[in-house]
Amino acid sequence: MKSVKVGICGLGTVGGGTFNVLQRNADEIFRRCGRRIEVVQIAARSINPKCDTGSIEIIDDALALARNPDIDLVVELIGGDGIAKEVVLTAIEHGKHVVTANKALIAVHGNEIFARASEKGVSVGYEAAVAGGIPVIKAIREGLAGNRINWLAGIINGTGNFILTEMREKGRAFDDVLKEAQALGYAEADPTFDVEGIDAAHKLTILASIAFGIPLQFDKAYTEGITQLTTEDVNYAEALGYRIKHLGVARRTAEGIELRVHPTLIPAARLIANVNGVMNAVMVNGDAVGSTLYYGAGAGMEPTASAVVADLVDIARTLETASNQRVAPLAFQTDALSDEPVLPIAQCETAYYLRIQAKDHPGVLAQVASILSERGINIESIMQKEAEGQDGLIPIILLTHRVQEARMLDAIAALEALESVITPVVRIRVEQLD
């Protein structure tokens, strides 16, 4: 059986890892898929010193590689949605299969890319776009295909998880830990995508589509970052039996799909609450299987390469198979995707952690309770601390039952209007994940 001719676009961290895994494990891969996977051309701006490319042709024109008639499959590892999109669509137009690790490209342009691939009868693999080396896309698309997925929740950005872990374990401030994350290479010089939740929202958009059978809708994902979190809130959460994680949550409701990324209190006893450092984890709840947890390295040279090569093997196994007999790109047949709406955050429902800094006046607690009660918000627990600092403000910490966000925002506005409350109310959502 003839080998699969592969071209790799991008020879950076993931591209170099993919090349090395393909070379090192060539015999094992052949045993698994019955074909040799042969890298015949690489498009890169510079040579990766960690890769022994030997006599393999290296060019600087990724579009020329995408048009190369001798290549069966193009691996796009450039990143972003500029030239990367052009490379992917060019490869598809020329009848080539595509594998990518580009979450932004899939989340934003995936609907167009999958439609073009279907027209041309080729496959697009993107396992490496979400959670690095964790095969969570395959698990949802195939392993859980017999389930109606109820919800999923994930720690899907290692940088944010590293920062929150350091804040909890060592009592460090956000800005201090962010500088270390940049020094260690976990965060970019501009860390916005990581700390503001954009990276996680790209990944959550993809997971929600394959879980619920809806088109990719990144523009409707609610994102909230971790830059405003303080060690005080991390410590208060711990005292209440919770951990704060930067969580992506997608949930099916009667009204539509919740799609949101934000700091979240999770009970400390949950396995996912104990995922620390740069590691990732995704919980998926299905009606038949219940809750399942997928844990592992969310980034890195070879963990991500593991997912890229897995897609290569999948496509190589079915290279002679008609495109309509392969696994649908978003798990559900294209003409069966649902028009269930993605809900605005105001319509989403969750429990809440509130921290209110109030003057030490009689009746403050009664006023707080009255405002919440008038809006149908039930208090689960309350903790009042001693006055702090020279201003003598008393921290009041509340956990509420589940309530629609719009009602909670109305309550917070009323709380902040009280004469005794002189700083903004801190609000963090709470998920039990049970």
Q: Please give the helix or strand (H or E) that residue 44 lies within, else none.
A: none
Nearest alpha-carbon partner for 76 in 113, 112, 116, 49: 113
How far apart are alpha carbons 327 and 323 in whole angstroms? 8
How far apart are alpha carbons 360 and 421 in whole angstroms? 10
Q: Which residue among the candidates 5, 138, 203, 220 is catalytic per the annotation?
A: 203
Estimate the crossing angle of helix 301-317 against helix 26-33, to 10 degrees: 30
* Cβ–Cβ under 8 Å, residues 347 and 404: yes
Buried b (16+ CB within 10 A) or exposed e, 167-204: bbeeebebeebbeebeeeebbeeebebbbbbbbbbbbb
Strand ranges across the sheet with 124-125: 57-59, 37-43, 4-9, 73-76, 97-100, 124-125
Identity of the amino acid at 75: V
Q: Is 203 known to be catalytic?
A: yes
CA distances from 37 to 2, 11, 306, 325, 387 (A): 9, 17, 14, 22, 67
How far apart are alpha carbons 428 and 262 in whole angstroms? 8
3-state secondary structure of 432: coil
Calculate the CA dihedral of residues 86, 92, 93, 94 and round it to 10 degrees: 110
CA distances from 113 to 100, 326, 343 (A): 12, 16, 25
* Cβ–Cβ under 8 Å, residues 151 and 253: no
Copy the structure tokens of residue 131. 């959670």
Q: Which residues are catalytic?
A: 203
